[in-house]
Amino acid sequence: MPHVPAASHTQTQVIREQPPTGRRTGKPVWYAPAAALGDAAGAAVPVYLAFALADDARGAAYAMVAALAWLLVRGARDRYAERRLGERDNIGPALQDWLMLVGLLAVVRAATGDESPFLLALTALLPCAPASAAAHSLIHRHLITRRRGGRAVRRALVIGEADAVDGLVSHLAKRTEHEFVVVGVCPIGEADPQALAPIAARLGRQAPPRMSADSAPVLEAARRLGVDVVLVVPGPYMAGTRLRRLSWALHGEECPLVVVPGLTEVAGRRVDVSSVAGLTMLNVAPPLRRGLAALLKSVTDRLGAALLIALLSPVFAVVALAVRLDSPGPVVHRQTRIGRGGVPFTMAKFRTMVADAERLRHQLAGTNEQDGRMFKIRRDPRITRVGRVLRRYSLDELPQLFNVVQGHMSLVGPRPPLPDEVAGYDEVELRRLAVKPGLTGLWQVSGRSDLSWDETIALDLRYVDNWSPSVDLGVLVRTVRAVIAGTGAY
């Protein structure tokens, strides 16, 4: 290793003294067969039924071709690899694969001179993507459950400067859906031993001893702890040639090395790795704001909202009548909210509170149960009897469909804030206003009012920075479940 200042040092803290009793990194062997079976059934069954209903005797043959083609496309795109199975929501990849499937079968149809009805075949293929996404989502949920129980994880050793190591260990400890369980740390650099106290306290061990500044203590700790991967947070004392030589030493032991650049909440599709002049570069694409995807979102929002208004018109009438009969006051409550770019607009919702609720809010300021800008009380005395039911099933939000049609809001986006909330925003919180507020969003499907302010902001910023059409589709699907469950609605 290259020379480093004499004051610098590498330190190792053993978190688990006992030797590993066996690898727990492997995912269940049935994941791949189950995913393939789900994909095949999702393609074959709809195709067979469609052609059977059309009295076409070739239904079984078409079903087999569709299933094989779908498996070929999914396999070619590495959807059954162990490292991918169960790792994330699959609606986006499934839609991409479906487009390839349609193209492949179109080529086969033209090459073989098949004369089956095109629209019938296309309609029969529509369930492929959602069926596959559902099957893979079930695997994802099973994997998350296993990881919360400490299974299907990779034992990780973390290397970096004390503050960076503490931040990474803390971040990993807050979430349970990932594959890493930290079993040891190797802080490096000139940090005062006291700086290691937070790490020791977090992991329940005493501060680690000082060791020499080369790869030897890392390799010794990796062997002793039986780690599956080494996580490195690069910095002044771990970069360039030193990091390269550490990778040689680890790879000589067939131990994988993962470099953690420090970026958070950036979707994988926005990240691309390239090599320029021998340097490895991480390219981060800007969030989607313009182009075809943004146009598609705008058109889908307005057409979808208009269609929902037409379909739900009987519900509008029943709710309006219930609000009118329950308590005096207007049926629809209008309130100024802040939209994209800080532009105010008038948002509509069915009234769920007494008529003078705004005046009473100041009297209840001391009872706010939220820890941030929002004002929420679990048993708000201003809410009417009908209002509680409407809030429980989010029916009070239905008039906001008109805001979506007008272009003030989107079907999916952050919660529309009040002007006095925005007045207290800092630079980070203001980024919520980079997109249109939504009728539903990650906040809606992740717990709503049960979430803390920091959790709400984190979800909103994740959406703002990583929006895509597939993200919107996933949120809309999850919204149905969240509305039925009513979790956090008050």
Find out whether 474 and 412 touch, Cβ atoms under 8 Å: no
Find out whether 153 and 162 touch, Cβ atoms under 8 Å: no
| Residues 329, 387: Cα–Cα separation, whole Å | 13
Q: Can you tell me the mean pLDDT for 146-156? A: 88
State which of 235-239, 284-288, 479-483 shows the largest mean pLDDT. 284-288
pLDDT tens digits, 311-329: 999 999 999 999 999 888 8
Q: Which of 22-36, 226-240, 268-282, 297-311 has the lowest mean pLDDT?
A: 22-36
Find out whether 217 and 186 touch, Cβ atoms under 8 Å: yes
The Cβ of residue 71 has, within 10 Å, a number of other Cβ atoms equal to: 19
Whether residue 487 has pLDDT greater than 80? no
Whether residue 193 has pLDDT greater than 90? no
Q: Which of 74-83, 368-377, 446-455 has the lowest mean pLDDT?
A: 368-377
pLDDT at 92: 76
Q: What angle, rounded to 10 degrees, do the helices at 128-148 and 59-76 form?
A: 50
- Which ranges of 253-344 would DSSP assign to H, the alpha helix? 292-311, 313-326
Q: What is the pTM of this model?
A: 0.73
What CA–CA distances, in Å, run from 90 to 142, 147, 163, 193, 240? 14, 19, 35, 45, 36
> Which residues are CB-contacts of 302 (< 8 A; sequence separation ≥ 6)?
404, 405, 407
Whether residue 450 has pLDDT greater than 50? yes
| Residues 217, 208: Cα–Cα separation, whole Å | 12
Name the pairing type of β-strands 154-161 and 180-189.
parallel
Whether residue 10 has pLDDT greater than 50? no
Per-residue tokens: 412: 């999916």
**Banded pLDDT at 11 (limits 50, 70, 90):** very low
> Which has the closest alpha carbon to 189: 6, 385, 334, 311?
6
Q: Can you tell me the mean pLDDT for 68-74? A: 94
What CA–CA distances, in Å, run from 128 to 69, 97, 102, 195, 415? 11, 10, 10, 54, 33
> Which residues are CB-contacts of 223 (< 8 A; sequence separation ≥ 6)?
253
State which of 10-14, 112-116, 197-201, 450-454 shows the largest mean pLDDT. 112-116
pLDDT tens digits, 392-438: 888 999 999 999 999 999 999 999 999 988 998 999 999 999 999 99
**Banded pLDDT at 293 (limits 50, 70, 90):** confident
The beta-strand segments (E) located in 363-427 are 410-412
Report the share of the chain in percent with pLDDT over 90: 32
Find out whether 154 and 179 touch, Cβ atoms under 8 Å: yes
pLDDT at 303: 95
Whether residue 195 has pLDDT greater than 70? no
Burial 331-369 (b: 16+ CB within 10 A, else e): eebeeebbbbeeeebebbbbbbbbeebeeeeeeeeeeee
Find out whether 250 and 222 touch, Cβ atoms under 8 Å: yes
CA–CA–CA angle 239, 245, 247 (5° rounding): 90
pLDDT tens digits, 259-268: 998 888 888 8
DSSP character string of 134-158:
HHHHHHHHHHHHHHHTT-S-EEEEE
* Residue with the larger pLDDT of the pair 456 and 24: 456
Burial 449-467 (b: 16+ CB within 10 A, else e): bebeeeebbbbbbbbbbbb
pLDDT tens digits, 42-59: 999 999 999 888 888 888
- On average, the pLDDT of the chain sits at 82
pLDDT tens digits, 237-266: 888 888 888 899 899 888 999 999 888 888
Question: What's the DSSP call for residue 431?
Answer: G
For the chain, report the end-to-end CA distance as a whole number of angstroms: 59
